[in-house]
Each structure stands twice: as structure tokens, then as C-alpha cells.
Structure 1
Amino acid sequence: MTVHNPVKTGAFPSPALLQQAKLFRIYNHYRLVISLMLAGLLFVDPGTFDARFRWQDYYQAGVVSYLALNGFFALILMAGFQVSQRHITLSILLDILIIHGLLLTSTGITNGLANLVIVSVAAGNILTPSRLGIFYAALAAICSLGISGWAVLSMNGHADDIVRAGSLGILYFAAAFVLQNISRRMIRSEALANSRARSIAELEQINRQIIQRMRTGILVLDRYGQIRLANAAAEELLFGTISTDTDLPRSRTLPQPLKLGLEAWLKDPRMRVEPFQSAPTSPLLQANFTQLDQERGDHILVFIEDMSKVTQQAQQMKLASLGRLTAGIAHEIRNPLGAISHAAQLMEESPQLDDGDRQMLDIIRRHSKRVNGIIENVLDLSRRKTADAELVDLPIWLQEFRRDYLQTQDEESGPSSIELEIDPDLPAARFDKSQVEQVLVNLCDNGLRYSEQQTGSRKLSLHAGATEDRHRAYLDVRDFGPGIAPEDRSSVFEPFFTTDKSGTGLGLYLARELCEANQAHLSLVEDGQQGCCFRITFAHPGRMI
């Protein structure tokens, strides 16, 4: 016998085929039990049941053969045999023919074995609800009528046997029509249920992807603060890493500020939790709590918002309006400003100026330059382009930046040194090269200037590394200057804040804005070492939207 597998290699069987195979296994168990019972009755004296066998030897041989056939089917099914439609059809046909053969060799159509034919016809119509099911009923009816007719003509049987055979034929067809109708309805219902299940699964997958790609952090907690679910944004905002293991977020504990906020909210749900930082280098966060189940209150939904983005958006709107205003009056400002600068230069060439006048002219020139710088920086806010991000090999790009930047510095400001340290196995980063280069130029210019003020030499260090999860890269820019006073650290990224009288106060603000446009984060690292360290933490290269 050749084994026929209806499912192609490497493909998964459909739910309908799996259900059909399961039902056939159940039916085969039924056949095996019936054949065992018939075989067991062979060891009982037939006279006890008032049985008058026509051909007892043939009947016994048929029962033993039926048991052997069903046992063989049971063994191959246990061995993993894949059932096809033709095997089901052959099994039903064999059952109808074998049972009618047992009826012929025993007492005829009046034997109780005739009821087993109804079960076989019903099983055939359940397993194959098609025209083939009507053929099963027709075959069974023809066999029953044939046995009854042969008994009446050849063995002087009662004419009532033909009536009984006709009644059985009606039962066969009734069972076929009823069960086919029920089976078709069940198949349609199952197909509808499977279609809805697939739709629900697809919607669930879409919702999961949407939640994972949201920029707002989402947490699901129990009343004891244990994390039940966390999306990627929540892990990044709270823990600075993104886990790939679905069970890992549950093993993490809430940052202490958020845990205290949860306890306060549980006492008074109307209270709004104060913004907090989960780590010194993390942005300012705002948490909002709500109960998922209003009646039981078992789970709590937490929304984590990055307050720095909200603040920056408000500041960006203000400065964008200022930029548009400045763009409108820039021409009117620059004309007199250029005239003032030109007049100051002409006056500096006069040999009759004393030292006090030259000092005043120097003040005019420096402040004119500063006003022009403020106008240029504000104009940049309104002219800023959308980031054109690309995947960047950070070590190669940093080496090229360091070489080009030092060449520019050596020509303009004198010898400068930048120490570059790159950790091994650094992950790639995705950003706009021109915009991040503008950020680095600003940070390096400030670092070299403050290092020269403190140590007399223009030097700084760049260190590229990876976050704890090894999925994101970061870049530290460290100078050797006097550092930033503790009371000024929270204000360094605010627009127009500066400790340098010659600065505009927009450099670090623009640098952070450009980082945010590339989904990176610029922060001030407080590690207790000399000078100050600014860190650019790049986004996961696969999470860029």
C-alpha cells in the first residue's frame, strides 16, 4: 500500500484536514471496539442467542478478518499515517460491504448487525459531506434489498424482510440528508469562526505592533507595582534598554520615583504625580495612572510621557514664531547692523584713537557679531529641515569627522587634540549625518574653548560605546574645563541660557533639538570627573519611524 500525504512537504495541514483526521481516528476506534465485541461473541455458544447462522464458518472468518483490518488501521494511525480522502472513502465502503457480508452469512437483514450499517452511513456523511455520502446510503440500501431479495427467492425467506430492508434504506437516506445538512452548517460555522479568529489574531498583532512602536511608554502593573506588560518606549524611558525577552520586563522593578508616585496615586486617585527622572541621564518623565478594571481594580495602566519633548515642542513653537518674525525684519536689522560694524572698522583704522576709544570700538564690534549670531541661530529654527536618516557605521564616521574637524581647527584656532575611543562590537546607528555633525561641531567647539580656559591647551575626548542591552550606541563628548555649576545643570539646554558673555545661549538648545529630530537624546552626564561630559544616545536602528 502506498502512503498518500495530501499535505505538501514543508506545509502545515489546514484546520479542516486536521479536524477530519481527528474524526476519522474516533471512528476507527469505534470500528475496533465493534470488531472486538463481535470476535468476543465467537467464543459464546450461538445457540444461547437463538441464532441460526446460514454459513457459520464464513461468518467467523469475516469477523476475524474485520478485526484484523481494523487493528491494522489502528496501528498505522498510531505510527503517524496521514489520512487522505480516499482512505476515508475506502474505509466506509469496506465497512458497508463487510457488515452486509456478515448479515448475509448470519441470519439475514433481521440481525441486529443491520443497525451498524446506519452508523457507517452516518459516519461517511459526517466525514465527507458531499454527493459521496448519498452514494454510501444508496450502496447500503441496495445491499440490504439485495440480501432480503436473495433470501426470499433462494431460501424461502419472509416477505417482511424486504419491507424491513426498504425501511432501513429510508433510514440510510434520511441519515445522509440530515447529517449532510448539519455537517455543512457546522463547516460554514467553523469557517466563519476561523475567519473571525484570524481577524482577531491579525488585529491583536497590529495592536501589539502599534503599542510597541508608540513613542508614549505604556505599562500594565498590579496593585503591588509588579510589571505585567511594558512596551519598548516604556523600557527605553524608564530603564534605558529595550529587552527582546517577553518575560524580562516582569522581572524588573519600578524606579523609586515612579513607585512612590504609584503609592501616592493609590491613596488619592485624583492626585497628579509630579514629573520625575528615572536616572540622571534620562529625560524628565510624567506618569498618568488609570485602572483597567473599574470593579476589581486588579491591574493599573500607566502612560509615561517624555516631558522634555512637550517642553521642547512649546519652546520650538515660540522660537519658530520668533524665527518667522526675525526672518521678516532680518533685512531691516542687518542693514544698520552692517553699517555699525563697517563704521567701527573704519574708525579702528584712524591713527588718532586712544586706547579707551579702541576699547569701545572693540565692544561695538563684538556685540555686533553677537547680535548677528543670535539672528542666524533664530533663523535656523525656522529653516530647519526634516532629518534624512541613514544607517551609519559609527566608528568609520567618527574617524572621518575627527580628521576633518581637526584640520579646520588647526587652520583657524591653532593646534587641537581629540582623543577618540571606540568600544568593540559597536552597534550601528541611524541618523542624519549633516545634522549630527552640526551637533558634534557645537559640542567640540565648546569643549575645546573651555578646556583651553582651564588647562591652557585645546583638548577633549570622544568615547563611543553601547548601552547595556547592546542594541543602541552612544557618544560621549568630554572636555577638561571648569565644568558646570550644580545650580546651572538643569538649565543648560534652555534657549538663551549661557554662562559665556560672548555666547548666544542657543547652541545647546539647537543641539538637543537636532538630536531629537533624529530620535537621539542629548544629556549632561554627571560622573564626578573633571570638566563636563555630554552624551548622545542614539535610537535603536530598527525603531526609526
Structure 2
Amino acid sequence: MMFTEPKRVTALFQEELITQRHRLYTALAWVRILVASVALVYSIAFKSHGSNYWLVITIQASYILLVYGLILLSDSNRERIVWYNFLIAICEISLLGYLDYLSNDNLPLSFLFFSVVLCALLLPFSLTMLVFGMATLCIIANWLNLTAIFSEQHLSVDSDFITAFLKHYNAHDGQVLLMIIVGLFLLTIIVNRLASWSFSNDVKARFRHRQMRQVLSFNRAVIEHLKTGVIVVTDSGKVLSINGRAVLLLNLQAQVAVTELVDLSPELQRRFEQWLRIGMTAEPPYRHNNGAEEVFVNFEHFGDGGLRNIAMLTLESVDEIQQQSHDAKLAALGRLTAGVAHEIRNPLSSIHSAAQLLDEDGATPKQAKLTQMILKNVARTDQIISDILGLFNDAKANRKLLPLRATLERYAKDFLDVHHDKGFDKLSVEGNAPDNLYFYFDTGQLEQIIWNLLQNAIKYADAASLALTIQYSLSATKRQIYIDIMDNGHGVPEDRVGHIFEPFYTAGNGSGLGLYLVRELCSANNAKINYFPLRKDGEVAVSGACFRITTAAHFSQQEDQEGVE
């Protein structure tokens, strides 16, 4: 939320303000209902108010129903809560003034002070002053005893209002009245200002607290998914946090809680104390146990000021760093190799043209043999150059949703059409997956992958009766598709399996880039390729090589295309 644009933050703050105002309004409304219910029970129990008994009961019950109805209405109209509260205040003051007229005591007038204070807690200052003004009129009317004046039996045609007023006027009571009004005024202002200030601060605090919780949750999620192991400790060695990557790198038992660094690893504690003393460390990579990876350990303090007593240990896999360095060197070498290969092609074309001219002259058999040797090696060199240039081509995959079975059958047919004249015709497509199965792939790159694997099988399988099979299936989770390119040859020797996808690794006369190119093309299409040797299964002679392509499964041709460039 802290990364949201200012307008959105303002809108979210207003939503929180409305929510908190609704909570306060609901609480005050229930307080009103509680007080009115007590007054109603009192009126029913003691049957006060004489002849006005039923009228008073009706007024009190109607007030309770009004407040309860406005509570229900406020749930769907929270923006109008201030006006609902103002309406309740107007009704309260009017009803209390009328009840004071009906009763013989000042009990309703006492509730008037309570009503004004409740209104001051929620209403803005202007509306609060309006409510105070109405309450003041009711108090003055009660002090002047205007109802008694107008109900005097001696107030006849011959007497006037002034005479009756002077009869009931008391100067001492006027001073008391003034003090009551001034006191109520000051109380109303103080309550309103304090309530407004505290309410605003409370809403801001709640809003910021919610922001902080979301940011902390986001930070925890980010740290948990870092590729670097992270252990947060105090200067005393108390472990505050450890992410999942650190647990994996150190081969820890995730269910065992770790509270002290020395309990986790005395060696890490020693290195940490040394770093605290001298501010640096030059230790060799650390391995926690036999099942753990070798890691580089680094230390760094958190932030400034009060956070300087908290440090972070970062654990980086030695194998991954070496692999990244290797990949970077390989990429640089690849760019250099691609440039050199492109420059070689020009003189290679001249050599190829000269060899063809020599071959056309019809020289001696020995010269013809040498000429064919030149042409063969020129073609091989040209193929190596093509592989290198294709390998480091920056063109991105143009992935499309393809029907699985139809696509594989088409590629198999095209392959057989090309190789039929060469005496090879044993290629089949098999599968037990639904017909409505689709997958995303670049059509040209998929064809290149399959043809490369099939040609490798023909070249290296070394089988008396070679048979190739393209087999497809759906994973048990129904989320992935398996495309297996299989042959019945002798397979790849075990000592070479770990190297077959490495660039420039070859067991024959090839460039050593074929399978590496296949792996890179699969990766460009969010797919994986693995090698599985086929072994003899019982009495059925099943042996050879199997290259499995794994990609995501889709069950509808109308599915939205993934966000892939």
C-alpha cells in the first residue's frame, strides 16, 4: 500500500475514516438505545407522568425504534452517518423538551446535557454548535417556566405576559442559568475538539498500522523467496528470522525452531563475533553438514541508528555463483565465437566454390577423392557455423497454441518424406492423452528440436533395425505434457550422460552444439528437456535412449495466449 499513488492513498484513508466513524456512530447509538430503554422500563415500572403515561411511553418507544432504524440504515449509507447523528440529536432535544413540558420534574432536562455531549463526540463543530443552541433554548425555556406562565389561570384578558413573567422571575436563578449555559458551552467545545483530534489521530494510527502490517508481510514474502539465504540476528547472537532458502542451503530441519546462532552453528557464531570485532571477515566457504551446500557467508548491519544492533547473514551457494560465472564466460565466448564464425563463412564460400570447380574438371580418381573430402569438410564446417549462429541468435520465440497430436504427426510425416529416399521409414507417433490437448511452442523451433533429436538417433543409435518413436502423454497432475523422442539403440553411456547438453561436447564428428541448441530452444519456450535411458523391462527387450520434452498443458484452443514475447 505504501507504493500506491497519492490519490489512491487519500481514497484509502477516507475509507478508513468512514469505517471508524461508522463504528463510533454505532456505539453511540447503542448507548442511546440503552439509556432510553432504562428510562422506558422506569416509566413502565413506576407509572409516572400521570394522565400522560401512554403518551410518554409511546414517545420513548418511538425514539428507540428511530435510533435502531438509523443504525440499520447506516450500514448501507455510511457516507451519511453525520447527518443521521444530527437527525438523532434534533429529535432528542425536541422530545426531551416536550417531555419536560409534560413532566413535573427536571429529569428530561438532565438527559439534555448527556445528549449534547454525545453529539459533540461525532458531529463537526458547526453542527455541534447548532445542537448546543437548540439545547440552550430548551434550558432557558425551562428556567423561565414558560409553560407555567401560559398555563396560569389568572392569565386572563386583563393581564399580560410581562406581568406573569415578573411574577416567576428570580435574579439568583438567572445567574445559575448563565453559569450552566457557559459551562455547557465550554464542555461542548472541549469534548468536540478533543474527540475530533483523538478520532483523527486514531484513524491515522490504524491506517498506518494496517499499512505497516501489509508492508511487513510483503517484505517477509520477498525475503522468503530470495535465492540468497538470509539469517537476521542481534549483536548478542539471537536469531530473529531465517528464510526458507537458508534452511535449504544449511540442510536444516524446518520443524526445529532456532533461537540462538550458537545453537544453529558454533562456526557461524565464531565468524559473526569476529566480524563484530574487526568489521570484516575473510573466511573460506562454509558447509553446515554433509547434506548441505557449500556457501559463502557475508555479514551486514541493518540500517542506521537504533537498528545498528541487528545484523543480517547472507548465504550464497558456491555452486550457483560458479555456475553464474561460467554462464557469463560462456555467453561472452559465444558472442566472440559467433563473430568469428561469421567471418569464416566468407573464405569458406571461396573454398567451396574452388573445390566444386576442381570436381567438375574430372581429374584423376585421387584428385576427385581429395576434392570430395574438401567438399565434405566444408559442408561440415558450414553446418558448425550455422549451429553457432543459430545458437546465439537473439530472435525471441513466437509461441502459438498448437494441437499436440496433429502437430507431432505432421512433423513425423515431413521427416519421413525427407528420409524415405535414404532407406529409413520406421517412425511412429503414439500417445494416450486426450485429443483436445494443446501446448504453447514456436512452430519453427519445435520442428528444429524434433528433427535434431531424430537425426541424432539415426546417426548415433547404432541399431541393426532402428525404429524411432514420438510418444506423448499427460502428467498425473494433468498440468504438463510429456513429449518423448525414443529409439531402440544402445543409448548414451552412463559416463557421458552428465555432459550431453554441454556446448561443444561430442562423441563423434559433430559440432557438439546440437543438444545444447535443443536445450536452449526448449528454455526459450518455457519447456524442459531431460535424458532417460531405456532399460530391458522383464522379458521384453526395451532399450535405447529417450529425450523427454516437458511443457505446460492446455485443454482449450480458446485459452488466452500467455504473456510471452
Q: What is the TM-score normalised by the length of structure 1?
A: 0.70
Determine the structure 2 residue equivalent to 1:353.
365
Shift of 1:73: 5.1
Look up the SS of the partner of 2:471 in the other structure: strand
Could you tell me which residue of structure 2 aligns to residue 530 of structure 1?
Answer: 543
Take 2:504 and 2:442, find their aligned partners in 1: how far apart are those partners? Answer: 25
Say whether 1:339 aligns with 2:354: yes
Matched, 1:516 2:516: no
1:364-403 aligned at under 5 Å gives the runs: 364-403=374-413
User: The residue matched to 1:465 in structure 2 has which SS?
Assistant: strand
- Give the count of matched residue pairs: 480
Distance 2:92 2:221 in 1: 53
Partner residue in 2 for 1:57 = 50
Match of 2:97 in 1: 100
Partner of residue 138, structure 1:
133
- Which residue does 1:314 correspond to in 2? 329
Measured in 2, the distance between the counterparts of 1:410 and 1:179 equals 97
* Deviation at residue 67 of structure 1 after TM alignment: 4.2
Instruction: Name whichever of 29-38 and 319-328 sits farther off.
Output: 29-38
1:395–1:422: 8 Å Cα contact kept in structure 2? no
In structure 2, the residue matched to 1:239 is none
State the secondary structure of the residue aligned to 1:259: coil
- Within the candidate set 493, 509, 512, 1:505 is matched to 512
The CA distance in 2 between the partners of 1:495 and 1:415, in whole Å, is 31
Identify the match of residue 69 of structure 1 among 62, 73, 76. Answer: 62
Mapped pair 1:471 → 2:479: yes
Q: 1:100 Cα shift? A: 2.8
- Separation in 1 of the partners of 2:316 and 2:422? 53
User: Could you tell me how far apart the structure 2 residues matched to 1:482 and 1:100 are?
Assistant: 105
* Structure 1 residue 476: Cα displacement: 1.9
| Counterpart position of 2:159 | none
Question: Could you say if the C-alpha distance between residues 74 and 133 of structure 1 is closer, same or farther in structure 2, counting changes exceeding 3 Å?
Answer: closer
Residue identity matched to 1:432: D
Matches within 5 A, 1:316-331: 316-331=331-346
Q: For residues 231 and 315 of structure 2, what CA distance do their matches in structure 1 show?
A: 6
- Equivalent pair of 1:426/1:466 in contact (CA under 8 Å): no
Matched residue type, 1:34: V
Tell me, yes or no, if structure 1 residue 454 matches structure 2 residue 446. no
Shift of 1:178: 3.2
Q: Are the equivalent residues in 2 in contact too, given 1:326–1:379 (CA < 8 A)?
A: yes
Offset of 1:485 from its aligned partner?
A: 0.3
Task: State the alpha-carbon separation in 2 of the partners of residues 290 and 467 from structure 1.
Answer: 42
Question: Judging changes above 3 Å, is the alpha-carbon distance between structure 1 residues 292 and 180 closer, same or farther for their aligned structure 2 residues?
Answer: farther
1:185 aligns with 2:197: yes
Residue 366 (structure 1) shift = 3.1
Task: Provide, for residues 223-261 of structure 1, a one-character-per-residue CA deviation record: whole Å limited to 9, x for no partner.
Answer: xxxx9987xxx9xxxxxxxxxxxxxxxxxxx99x97379
Give the alignment partner of residue 452 of structure 2, picking from 442, 454, 460: 442
Partner of residue 480 from structure 1, selected from 477, 488, 492: 488
Q: Distance in 1 between matches of 2:346 and 2:514?
A: 23
2:375, 2:131 → 1: CA distance? Answer: 107
> 1:235-250 alignment to 2 at 5 Å?
none
Task: Give the percent of matched residue pairs that are identical in Structure 1 and Structure 2.
Answer: 19
Separation in structure 1 between the aligned mates of residue 480 and residue 300 of structure 2, nearest angstrom: 33
Matches of 1:427 and 1:289, distance apart in 2? 47
How far apart, in 1, do the equivalents of 2:170 and 2:456 lie? 116
Aligned-pair CA distance for 1:202: 7.5
Q: 1:151-162 to 2 correspondence within 5 Å?
A: 151=146, 153=164, 156=168, 158-162=170-174
Check 1:169–1:206 CA distance in 2 against 1; reply closer, same or farther (3 A cut).
Answer: same
Distance 1:162 1:341, change over 3 A: farther
**What is the Cα deviation at residue 318 of structure 1?**
0.9
- Residue 236 of structure 2 corresponds to none
- Cα 1:228–1:460, aligned 2, differ >3 Å: closer, same or farther? farther
TM-score (norm 2): 0.68
Q: Deviations over 1:45-67 (max 9, x none)?
A: 89xxxxxxxx9426755653454
Specify every segment of 5 or more residues in structure 1 that has no aligned partner in the other structure, as ranges: 1-12, 47-54, 235-253, 279-284
Cα distance between partner residues in 2 of 1:399 and 1:531: 22
| Structure 1 residue 96 displacement after superposition | 1.7
CA distance in 1 between partners of 2:508 and 2:392 (Å): 25
State the Cα distance separating 1:491 from its structure 2 match.
0.7
**1:191-202 equivalent positions in 2, closer than 5 A:** 192-193=204-205, 196=208
2-side partners of 1:428 and 1:173: how far apart?
A: 78
Residue 259 of structure 1 is aligned with which of 216, 237, 251?
251
Check 1:58–1:446 CA distance in 2 against 1; reply closer, same or farther (3 A cut).
Answer: farther
Structure 2: segments with no counterpart, 5+ residues: 1-13, 150-163, 233-240, 257-262, 269-282, 303-308, 536-541, 554-560
